[in-house]
Amino acid sequence: MKAETNLQKIIKQGQFAVTCELTPPRGTDMDLIRKNAEKLLGKVDAVNVDDNPTADVRASSWAVCKALLDMGIEPILEMTTRDRNRIALQADILGASVLGIQNVLCLTGDHPSRGDHTQAKRVFDLDSIQWINLIRQIRDEGRLSNGKKISGNPAFFIGGVANPFVGSVDLHIARLRKKIEAGADFIQTQPVLDIKPFKVWLNQVMEHGLVERCPIIAGVILLKSLDFAQYLRNKVPGIMIPDSTLERLGIVPENKQQEEGMKICIEQIGEIKKTDGVKGVHIMAIGCEERISDIIEEAGLLPRPNMVNPGSIGPSQQIS
């Protein structure tokens, strides 16, 4: 059964959803992530927790999700297929349900060559589309990939990702369609830093009738410095940053670039809010997550709609 999470309810009600993401620590010290999470209480509808982003080892996503649940924050469990075969993937998603985690975002994941363990063997037993379909099967049919029945009634709100800034828009829309047909309940996009090509992509998505089938949450990112922006544009596939943005960051002193990046991010949120077909915004602030709450406030995204208490929906209290 589909989980009636806070995020799902807000989208269903036609409210503009607000999500963001936090990166687990490289170790076991949770002080910083708890401090950043406290600033988000009552300000976001759900919080993504990265799963070993850029193939760097971090504390497990499900463990940090449980910590957020205990704080009263609804998490979105990110799960990549890069590091797990289908046995481990299914075990982890069932374990997440036991802990009361119901939102899940399915990704293939960055290649290990990008990370801090370049010698690691890549798994990729499933891709993100197959993984979405398998979670839907577990949820709706109560069966594992081998057909065996499971006990209980795990409920999930299943997400996928989309990249509006690719060479072949038609190919990517075809992939987006497959994710929706596989069972995606919502889609989060890569960061939008140039609204015009994003609208071109979104219009095509709308023409194919996909927006009506699955809500789109547009990503934005805080460019904390010119160097960071140049790194994203030159090294990270799928990130499109216009020259005008780099020039804008470059003309301010280095110690003022994060504030200028904040302004750019808030302006992008304003444009996205006015864009037909977008059901929410997903805020990324890599390395400066403490600024997410400021972005939310200054972008006029408060107050948030009435929120359910995520900690009140335990594994034995799933909402049908």
- Which of the four pLDDT bands, split at 50, 70 and 90, describes residue 308? low
Give the span between the Cα atoms of 278 and 192, in whole angstroms: 12
Per-residue pLDDT tens over the stretch 46-101: 999 999 998 899 999 999 999 999 999 999 999 999 999 999 999 999 999 999 99
Nearest to 210 by CA among 184, 177, 188: 177
Q: Report residue 76: phi and psi, to 5°.
A: -120, 115
**155, 159, 65: which is closest to 106 by C-alpha?**
159
- Class of the CATH-defined domain 6-221+280-312: alpha beta
Q: How far is CA 204 from CA 134, 173, 273, in A?
A: 28, 8, 19
Burial 119-135 (b: 16+ CB within 10 A, else e): eeeebebbebbbbbbbb
Average pLDDT of the chain, as a whole number: 93
Cα–Cα distance for residue pair 78/123, rounded to 1 Å:
17
Task: Give 120-176 pLDDT, tens digit per residue.
Answer: 998 999 999 999 999 999 999 999 999 999 999 999 999 999 999 987 888 889 999
Residue corresponding to tokens 């304003």: 270
| Tens-digit pLDDT profile for residues 258-298 | 999 999 999 999 999 999 999 999 999 999 999 999 999 99
CA separation for the pair 281, 295 (Å, rounded): 12
The residue ranges of DSSP E strands in 56-140, in sequence order, are 75-80, 103-107
Instruction: Tell me the pLDDT tens digit for each residue of 218-261.
Output: 999 999 999 999 999 998 878 899 999 999 999 999 999 999 99
User: What residue ranges in the chain does DSSP mark as E strands?
Assistant: 17-22, 46-49, 75-80, 103-107, 157-162, 186-191, 216-221, 278-284
Q: pLDDT band at 307, cuts 50/70/90?
A: low
In this prediction, residue 11 has a pLDDT band, given cuts at 50, 70 and 90, of very high
Query: pTM surpassing 0.85?
Result: yes
